[in-house]
Every structure is written in C-alpha cells, then in structure tokens.
Copies of this chain bind each other. A is one copy, B any other.
Amino acid sequence: MIEGFTALYIFMLSAFTGYEVISRVPVILHTPLMSGSNFVHGIVLVGAMVAMGHAATTLELTIGFIGVALAAGNAVGGFVVTERMLEMFKSAKGQH
C-alpha cells in the first residue's frame, strides 16, 4: 500500500518531474504535447480494468464496462491523434 509520507513523497516528486520535463517547451509543440500528455493519463485504463474485474453487482459491472470503454478510448484516441500530429513535424531535418 502506498500511503502516508511515502505517498506524499511520490506525489511531490512526480509533480516536480512533470513540471520540469515540460518547462521550456517551444510554442509550436504545445498542441502535440497537450495531446501526448492526454494520452499518458490513458493509463487510467489499467485502473478501470481492475475495477471492472472486481465488480460484484450488475450496477458495478455496468459502470465498470463504461469506464473501461472510455479509458480505452482515451488511450487509443490519444495515441492516434498525437502520432498523427507529430508525424507532421517529420520534415524537421534536424533544425528548429
């Protein structure tokens, strides 16, 4: 169980990491990066699967089903859209 101060430390360090990784990104990458980080929280799929996998009642199962479908949409859609956008930047030829 990740809890107490350990949880706080992980939260704080992740926040620092996320913040620092993005700092100083050029404006033209704002949209692809928004889309890319949108893809990353698609990891919610993993949680939705676990929740649905342990659902007991029909109500829980239904909500879990919706959750998994939505999460899968987040992950797959986020990937496709980001990949398509970044492909456009392929002509970069080492410049910027």
A interface, CB within 8 angstroms of B: 2, 6, 9-10, 13-14, 16-17, 20-21, 24
Interface of A is mostly: helix
Which residues of B lie under 8 Å from residue A13 when comparing CB positions?
Answer: 10, 13-14, 16-17
Which residues of B lie under 8 Å from residue A20 when comparing CB positions?
Answer: 16-17, 20-21
A33 CB to nearest chain B CB (Å): 15
Given contacts A17-B17, A17-B20, contact A2 B10 (CB under 8 A): no
| From A6, A14, A21, residue with most partner B Cβ within 10 Å | A6
Complex CA distance for A16 and B9, rounded to whole angstroms: 14
Complex CA distance for A63 and B35, rounded to whole angstroms: 55
Which residues of B lie under 8 Å from residue A10 when comparing CB positions?
Answer: 6, 9-10, 13
Complex CA distance for A20 and B16, rounded to whole angstroms: 9
Q: What are 18 A-B pairs with beta-carbon distances under 8 A?
A: A2-B6, A6-B6, A6-B10, A9-B10, A10-B10, A10-B13, A13-B13, A13-B14, A13-B16, A13-B17, A16-B17, A16-B20, A16-B21, A17-B17, A17-B20, A20-B20, A20-B21, A24-B24
